[in-house]
Chain A
Amino acid sequence: MVEHLPRLPSGISGLDEVLGGGFIEGAAYIVQGRPGAGKTILSNQIAFSQASAGRRVLYVTLLAETHDRLFQSLSTLDFFDKAILGDAIRYVSVFQSLRDEGLDAVVKLIREETQRQHATLLVFDGLLNARDRADTDLDIKTFIAGIQSQAAFVGCTVLFLASAGSSQDSRPEHTMVDGVLDLCEEVVGVRSYRQLHVRKSRGSGSLGGYHQFEITDRGVTLYPRLEAKYAYPSRDEEPSKKRVGTGVAGLDEAIGGGLPAGSVTVVVGPPGSGKTSFGLNFLNLASKKDHGLHFGFYETPARLSLKAEALGLDFSKKRVGRDLHIIWNPLTENSLGKLAHQLLEAVREHKIKRLLIDGIGGFDRAAIHKSRLMEFFSALTNELRVMNVTTIITWESQDHTVNENSDPFPEISSILDNLITIREVHRQGRVQRLLSILKVRDSAFQQRSYEFFFTKNGSAAIDATYASNPGSLS
């Protein structure tokens, strides 16, 4: 029988998932990273979360900033609560014992203090200083073993914080603990990304690889790598034969009654071809029962509302927030992990059934490592499908004259259900938009082109008559 070890929740969004359910109670971990990597904030956030859950924490420092300076910097963070200092969380320095009496005395002091405090979490900040005091690797291992053995005995979880010169540092003391967490920063071009990596995790499966995190007023928020977290979707898909209206007059009939419910459609076209307008018509059919979400990178919510109004659609302030939701992330400092997290959270919270992602380029720009995009979108779209979200993703093509019979996106289209292209043609001195249906899941449809246009009141429509006379394409 598999034994499930009791866990200590970290209180940090995303971290427990990465750790396979939280820290193991009574286990010891090394949290390492360069100065500024976020070790102190991470461990204090865990400490305050434990304290607010009624448990007791001992926070031991060696040679570090003074405690009142630490409190000063922590006081800008939401989780900090001055009222519990000295009671549920106790900060003590053991530097003088280390200097005057050595490592053994420190072990003795920490053991006694852990019991005095009835601590269930011990944070030891300054493993590097302890290492400096050790004459041999064996000394530092003995030090860790001395603290850890007694902590395990009384059921106290230990976090050793260590400043690491390089995040790739592998140290002899790593063999002594149950887990090692690396906090590191990746610099790509002019940007930097904070990342967490579980280097070692004994007695617990953890999500591998590098997980992005950010530090804000709320402390640390971790975004587990999507393709690892949803290697398999969170539940089984329940395929339905239901169809979902596109909002584009004439299109539903052409594709067998609408888009298959819970499918993912990509609408490809050059700038200005009407992809967003297509999507807005789709979102406009959102209802109290089936909420809609616009997840965009380009238009601000205000601009979007104007654009919708020009199309005769209601995206007014009165409506947004009721059955229609808008999330706008400008194309500035985004990260894939955060975008996906934000998107899936909103879908869950608002029970979104119609989703417009405008457009895929926003994710592409946010990806530091483009090679993961396929796996990322596989995980994202699989998860959207099991939540029965019908999704339209816009894709800006650079080429204004996409050949309607070729598949411009061989790789990614394999994870999409439906593919529609919009292109522009010059015909008898007029620019016309042609909408082509290249792929629709589980549907009998004619692979052909239609004229895509906006009616007098602004709403989108297609017309099949064009297709009957395709010969005059310029």
Chain B
Amino acid sequence: MALIAVVDDEFLLADLLAGLLVGEGHEVMTAPHGRAALQMIRERKPALVITDFMMPLMTGLELAQAMQVDADLADIPVILVSGAQGASARDSHPELFAAIFDKPYDRKAMLKAVANLLDTP
């Protein structure tokens, strides 16, 4: 079981996803925007980050970019979950994200992607 960071300004969505992951036995920490997430990720080094795109102060894209240039964080896989930017992220920044989901997403597919990335089938 692993520590996962869930980053979303829309707390209901963050809450639902966190609940889903906790149900699978994971430990989850949440943050309302990229800036708070980055600080939390630096402190606790989660095994996986699942982030929204459009958020205040620091977007999901900016968060992934900041993690990539930080040697300590560059290896942590990032899943992007987006209402509108899924397609453009797939086109312009495929290297930043281990998986990209469009909202609303399929919960089973999400759990499968999480399991694959954590290598705990």
Contact = CB atoms under 8 A, between A and B. Distances in A.
A85 interface: yes
Given A85-B84, A86-B85, A67 B32 contact: no
A86 B10 contact: no
Contacts of B56: 60, 92-94, 97, 109-110, 112-113
A83 B92 CA distance: 13
Interface in A56-77: 60, 66-68, 71
B69 interface: no
A37 B73 CA distance: 47
A318 interface: no
A85 B85 contact: yes
B97 interface: no
Interface string B53-81: 11111010000000000000000000000
B98 interface: no
Contacts of A66: 10, 12-13, 83, 103
Contact of B53 (A60, A86, A95, A97): A86
Given A67-B54, A71-B84, A86 B59 contact: yes
Interface in B1-27: 9-13
B16 to A, nearest CB: 10
Which of A68, A91, A112, A116 has most B Cβ within 10 Å? A68
Nearest to A109: B56
A92 B32 CA distance: 10
A427 interface: no
B83 to A, nearest CB: 4
Interface residues of B, number: 20
A95 B11 contact: yes
A85 B57 contact: no
Contacts of B32: 93, 96-97, 100
A90 B33 CA distance: 13
Interface string A409-435: 000000000000000000000000000
Contacts of A116: 57
B57 A113 contact: yes
A94 B104 CA distance: 20
Contacts of B84: 67-68, 71, 82, 85-86
A312 B23 CA distance: 81
Contacts of A112: 56-57
Given A97-B32, A99-B11, A92 B83 contact: no
B59 to A, nearest CB: 7
Given A67-B83, A68-B83, A68-B104, A85 B12 contact: no
Given A82-B84, A86-B85, A67 B57 contact: no
Contact of A92 (B12, B54, B82, B88): B54
Nearest to A59: B54
Contacts of B11: 93, 95-96, 99
Contact of A93 (B9, B59, B85, B103): B9
A109 B57 CA distance: 7
Interface of B: 9-13, 32-33, 53-57, 59, 82-85, 88, 103-104
Given A67-B84, A85-B54, 6 more contacts: A85-B83, A94-B9, A94-B56, A95-B11, A96-B9, A113-B56
